[in-house]
Amino acid sequence: MSKTADSGKTDADAASSVEQYLVKDPERFALNVARTIEQAGKAAAAWAEPREKGEVRDGVAEPMADMVKTFSKLTEYWLSDPSRALEAQTRLFSGYLDVWSKSLHRVTAGEDVEDTAKPDRSDKRFQDPEWGRNAFFDFLKQAYLVTSRWAGDLVEHADGLDEHTRHKASFYMKQVTNAISPSNFILTNPELFRETVASNGENLVRGMKMLAEDIAAGKGDLKLRQADYSPFELGKNVAVTPGKVVGRSDVAEILQYEPSTETVLKRPLLICPPWINKFYILDLNPQKSFIRWAVEQGHTVFVISWVNPDSRHGMKGWEAYVREGLQYGLDIVDRATGEKDVNVIGYCVGGTLLAAALSLLAKEGDDRIKSATFFTTQVDFTYAGDLKVFVDEDQVAAVERAMGEKGYLEGTKMATAFNMLRSGDLIWPYVVNNYMRGKDPTPFDLLYWNADSTRMAAANHSFYLRNCYLENNLAKGSMELAGCKLSLADITIPVYNLAAREDHIAPARSVFLGCKYFGGDVEYVMAGSGHIAGVVNPPSMNKYQYWTGGKPVGDFEDWIAKAKENPGSWWPHWQKWIEKKDATRVPARGPGKRIEVLGDAPGTYVKVRV
């Protein structure tokens, strides 16, 4: 028996390798292709029907126009100098020739040659053995990697671009290169190819059926299914820390949680979460719940649960969210406990609102908040991460026009934007798994929360985009609320400022830069991991680490170099910081002792889905 050129394989091995890509039952395969086309027609109908009825207007044109405009500027730079363009083309063709030459050597001479391009260790797309064993798929993989890295270099070395255009070009280039990966297509992904042949195309039938269901669920837009959501129910196995609704305004419900200790800290704790997502990220399950843990440490915990806005809330801006949300929460805490002195936590944009509110309340003489903790919060948006890609005058104006029709921005729009920040992890693996492999995603509480979208009230979102991302007014001292010009220097209470090292939404450098604007002492702490896992990291899991150091002044990299790395969760470190401010304890206070109870936690506002 003879040997093939491929690493000593026999002819029989090669035949077996080829056989796995051959259709065994053509009649059944053809039937399933027909069924796939039928399901694809249902998906197309689910997409077209709401558009024909005028219920959905496509917003694709404006983002696509911005991408084309950005790439035009990139192209203009490279084509404006013939020698520069020739050099770029030569690098690409040289890479292709190297891949082709080495592939020929491997196939014809059986030589074990070094790959021209290898995937990063963290890249999960090319883990199937056939990506390296099969000459065809190996060639596709390497040609793709050469192309995508060359495209990235075009952006990096385009010296004539301004920083915002470069940022957008880099982001859009990642979206394009992630989308065209050979791992995303049946005929160019060996694993998908094998599964399609082995099942005679039944995976495609299931996938198209799921696609039609997800477009229907999105009412004409694709609502990408990232997990099996059916096992989860709010108040049953998600957001289950015992508590009551003790206040309700037009924009917020105030929840108070049952104590689990005989004595509690005298100062109650009010949490102001982001309205871009729902508060129960801090109460996903008993093992991961920051809220439950804080209760166990002796905090009397109150949480703002923001309304999922509709057209009635279109004119509710930041002042309304301060007055009817944060300040209303302070009033409820006072009525429920008799305590005026309060510790407050703000998470993400909830923290940005808290910072603005603290400045306003300082000018108005409201000094009930005695300490402020910020979770991954920006007050200076100079280095605001990839979300800044979506913010310039043209794009903000387009969002405002879209919001003007209904009084709010659809929740799916923000969800899509966040998913695009990590499209290689949060979009394409699910597209492949769901619609090509035809497999149901597995249950995952975090992704259930991630899919539980919230709308954005028009006035609120417009104020946020313009004053924070577009004009950076809070850091400049030119943001105005209730007729007052705000200054972060007026915030003289102690601040605990938590960043996350791998945060793409509120980069650690950006949070660090914001520290200098506060008028009092700031404890800057940097957690390991990202925007969610860096915050929701209970001590019992013993995961990641956190860094502590001196005052957050000077250069960010210098602070990191001198900082102390501590293993595990930052939660106990924060608890010690809180107790240093005031460790006085009083008998435990349960909801309903001094104030009317309106219902059980997690309340009604959080259960409104879009």
Residues marked as catalytic: 348
| Single-letter code of the amino acid located at 507 | P
What SS3 class is residue 485?
strand
Under 8 Å between Cβ of 95 and 193: no
Q: Where are the beta strands (DSSP E) in 376-529?
A: 408-409, 456-457, 480-481, 484-485, 495-500, 522-527
- One DSSP character per residue, 346-363 reads EETHHHHHHHHHHHHHHH
Sequence-distant (≥ 6) Cβ neighbours of residue 217 within 8 angstroms? 223
Distance CA 291, CA 285 (A): 10
Distance CA 217, CA 162 (A): 40
Distance CA 413, CA 176 (A): 19
Token pair, residue 573, equals: 């470190």
Angle, helices 202-217/190-198, rounded to nearest 10 degrees = 110
Strand order in the sheet with 342-347: 564-567, 545-548, 522-527, 495-500, 369-375, 342-347, 269-272, 301-306, 252-257, 243-248, 599-600
Distance CA 590, CA 337 (A): 9
Q: Largest alpha-carbon pair distance within the chain?
A: 91
Distance CA 467, CA 353 (A): 11
Distance CA 565, CA 548 (A): 7
Sequence-distant (≥ 6) Cβ neighbours of residue 91 within 8 angstroms? 150, 153
Under 8 Å between Cβ of 7 and 107: no
Phi, psi of 2 (to 5 degrees): -85, 160
Residues comprising the chain, all counted? 610
H or E segment to which residue 344 belongs: strand 342-347
Distance CA 433, CA 297 (A): 42
Distance CA 144, CA 506 (A): 31
* DSSP for residue 515: G
Distance CA 315, CA 406 (A): 11
Neighbours of 501 (CB within 10 A): 17
Under 8 Å between Cβ of 384 and 302: no
Phi, psi of 266 (to 5 degrees): -60, -40
Bridge partners of residue 599, in order along the sequence: 245
Under 8 Å between Cβ of 496 and 525: yes
Token pair, residue 396, equals: 């903000």
Sequence-distant (≥ 6) Cβ neighbours of residue 519 within 8 angstroms? 488, 489, 490, 491, 492
